[in-house]
Amino acid sequence: MGMVASSQELLNQEPNPSQFFPQGVPRAVRRIGLTMALLSGVVSLTTGYLLVFRYHQLFGDAISRAIVGMYMTWDGHFHLAAMGFYWSPLLSLFSVPFALARHWWPPLMTYGFSANILSALFAAVGVYHLYRILWRFGLSQWASVVWTSLYLLNPLILLYSANGMSDAIECAILLAMVDGLVEYLQTDRLGALVRSATWLAAAFMVRYESVPIGACLGIALVLSIWIRTKNWYRAEAIGLALLFPIVMAGIIWMLLGAMIMHNPFYFLNSRYSNGAQISTGSYNFPQVLAARHHLGVTLYQVFRFMDNFWAYAPAAVTVAVLQFRRRTDSIGISLLAASFGAPLLQIVLLYSHRSADWQRFFIYYIPFGFLLFAYVIWKLPIRWRSWFAWMGCFALVASNYAALEAMKSPVWGNGDTSVYQAVFDSQRGSLKDNANYMTLEQGEVEAHYINAHPHLVVLISTFDSPLVMPFIRRPGQIIFSGEPSYDSILENPLGRANAILTVPNSPHSLGADTSINRMYPGLWAGHVSWTKLIHQWKNGDRLYAVLKDAP
């Protein structure tokens, strides 16, 4: 009798997709997932097009990352070192084909629209894998469709799936990583574990938050497997298989930084890093200053951003309780631990005054909130799951509304409130008041001047003047900071550059930290004897001629 399971035990058994679909995910699930992915890509790309060409909402980092593709192909010479090394490289590499195609449609670079295309493509990847995860967690076909749609329609996810920034791209890659991990833990297919590890390494190549996320995930996974199986060698092998690719990616990235930039931690401590920009005082918002070296305020800031997806908190607490009340489950504890990675990083950075309180830095509450919520429903008895899945839609809608309200707030929507006002606020005034759009127009004006003077060979810093380059007709007129000989020319410009473009360098501006102003801090004010002012624009940018007594 002890060998026969009761009807209640059978009812509460966890579904294992491999029992019913030994060949993997059924064709119907893949077909619906691909359909959802296609629709999400169309919605994201359409939204991106409207943001850029109707509402003129441009995002500086997205445009700059798109233009990096131009740096690597500038003047007909392809060299990877021009990508910079302060951003993770994957999206920069993906921008190269668009840079080569800019002659057919210039807005790919001039407006940075190639970045919008990439974020829309990755949005489709994220939606596809989220649908698969929801299926693995036992949600019905229609419930999975609705949940996936609500994920894409979260205001932050939709905005960052459309605006070309890397944040929603990172979310999409993390969802793909979780899909492979869940498949492995449910079916023991090693191919799924390898796929998960590959996606985790790709996440590092997009944003550095993947490091704490991967670390928390790996520790929790290894410990949970060891607790369940009492087999340390198996747990260790799984952990190594999952983390080895991201560790190697990090090592290779640091080696390249050491070889090319002479600093393996260039991405962390260079003059273009977040910490260096914060140190200029440019982002000394009241909340950032209040959190500096104050743990209580820092914790409040980080937890307060759960408004991006308020259902995250109850779902996370429920998953934690389930791990103590029942036998530890590797899927649940791994998801829970991974969801702590990005907030823990922000606690460290805000406390040490090395980050700003941008709303997008806390976007990871959304994908992990969806996953933890779905996991809680999966753990319910089968007869209750469908009802709770549909009732949960109201919680998801409420969470999406809370994210929209946070976006509207100048305090908690930092970085995104202006977008909301431009699109929805009837008192928005000129749609072209976006600072990045005005910078784009200024770049075109400055490039027009250079184009009109073909004898000029101008030295520029791509940190403060990236939007000049897409409008330049003759690449040979620009020497930019991604070129191998840039530092040498900056020190000894005579005979190699006959003009230098510089920006205002007030003490608390980002312009003070550019390569040109650091080398010649008095240049913009006209205090460098071997230069002569040629032209000055309304925004304060100045072009100086290099005279014959220059070094």
Kindly report, residue by residue over 364-419, the tens digit of the pLDDT.
999 999 999 999 999 988 888 889 999 999 999 999 999 999 998 888 888 888 88
Q: Is residue 16 part of a domain?
A: no
Global pTM reads 0.91
| Count: domains in the chain | 2
**Mean of the pLDDT values across residues 304-329?**
87
Q: What are the pLDDT digits (tens) for 235-288?
A: 999 999 999 999 999 999 999 888 888 888 888 777 666 766 776 666 778 888
- What pLDDT is attached to residue 114? 95
Q: Are residues 462 and 391 in the same domain?
A: no
Q: Are residues 409 and 440 in the same domain?
A: no
Domain boundary among 423, 456, 489: 423
Q: How far apart are CA 146 and CA 391, in angstroms?
A: 12
Q: Are residues 279 and 380 in the same domain?
A: yes
Q: Is residue 6 part of a domain?
A: no
Pick from 205-219, 269-283, 449-463 the range whose average pLDDT is largest: 205-219
Q: Are residues 400 and 458 in the same domain?
A: no
What string of H, E and C letters represents the secondary structure of 422-480? HHHCCCCCCHHHCHHHHHHHHHHHHHHHHHCCCCCCEECCCCCCCCCHHHCCCHHHEEC
Per the model's pLDDT, the better-predicted residue between 533 and 505 turns out to be 533
Q: Is residue 428 part of a domain?
A: no
Q: What are the pLDDT digits (tens) for 40-58?
A: 999 999 999 999 998 888 8
Q: Are residues 126 and 249 in the same domain?
A: yes
Q: Are residues 180 and 41 in the same domain?
A: yes
Q: Are strands 531-536 and 499-502 parallel, antiparallel or unpaired?
A: unpaired
Q: Which residues 6+ apart lie within 8 Å of 494 measured at CB?
A: 546, 548, 550, 551
Q: Are residues 497 and 372 in the same domain?
A: no
- What pLDDT is attached to residue 326? 65
Residue 91 is which amino acid?
L
How is residue 358 written in tokens?
Answer: 């941008």
Least confident range from 79-83, 142-146, 279-283: namely 279-283
DSSP state of 76: G
Long-range pairs for 29-36: beta carbons < 8 A, 24 or more residues apart = 29/131, 29/132, 29/135, 32/131, 32/141, 32/144, 32/145, 33/127, 33/128, 33/129, 33/131, 33/132, 34/128, 36/127, 36/128, 36/131, 36/145, 36/148, 36/149
How is residue 386 written in tokens?
Answer: 């469908």
- What pLDDT is attached to residue 432? 54
Q: Are residues 87 and 150 in the same domain?
A: yes
Q: Are residues 112 and 176 in the same domain?
A: yes
Q: Is residue 322 part of a domain?
A: yes
Rg of the chain over Cα atoms, rounded to whole angstroms, equals 25
Q: Is residue 81 part of a domain?
A: yes
Q: Which residues 6+ apart lie within 8 Å of 382 measured at CB?
A: 11, 12, 15, 138
Of 467, 423, 426, the residue nearest 159 (C-alpha): 423
Query: What is the domain extent for residue 515?
Result: 435-546
Of 356, 314, 316, 349, the residue nearest 332 (C-alpha): 316
Q: Is residue 1 part of a domain?
A: no
φ/ψ of residue 132, rounded to 5: -65, -40
Domain boundary among 423, 444, 479: 423
Of 17, 366, 20, 340, the residue nearest 192 (C-alpha): 17
Q: Are residues 309 and 226 in the same domain?
A: yes
496 touches 477 (CB < 8 A): no
Q: Are residues 259 and 201 in the same domain?
A: yes
How is residue 135 written in tokens?
Answer: 């299926």
- What pLDDT is attached to residue 148? 97
Per the model's pLDDT, the better-predicted residue between 290 and 148 turns out to be 148
Q: How far apart are CA 197 and CA 184, in angstroms?
A: 11
CA angle 141, 132, 311 (to 5 degrees): 85
φ/ψ of residue 474, rounded to 5: -115, 105
φ/ψ of residue 543, rounded to 5: -115, 120
Domain boundary among 394, 423, 452: 423
Q: Are strands 531-536 and 478-479 parallel, antiparallel or unpaired?
A: unpaired
Least confident range from 334-348, 368-382, 503-517: namely 503-517
Least confident range from 3-7, 238-242, 437-441: namely 3-7
Q: Are residues 417 and 441 in the same domain?
A: no
Specify the residue for token string 């893949």.
30
How is residue 481 written in tokens?
Answer: 């900071």
- What pLDDT is attached to residue 197? 97
211 touches 331 (CB < 8 A): no
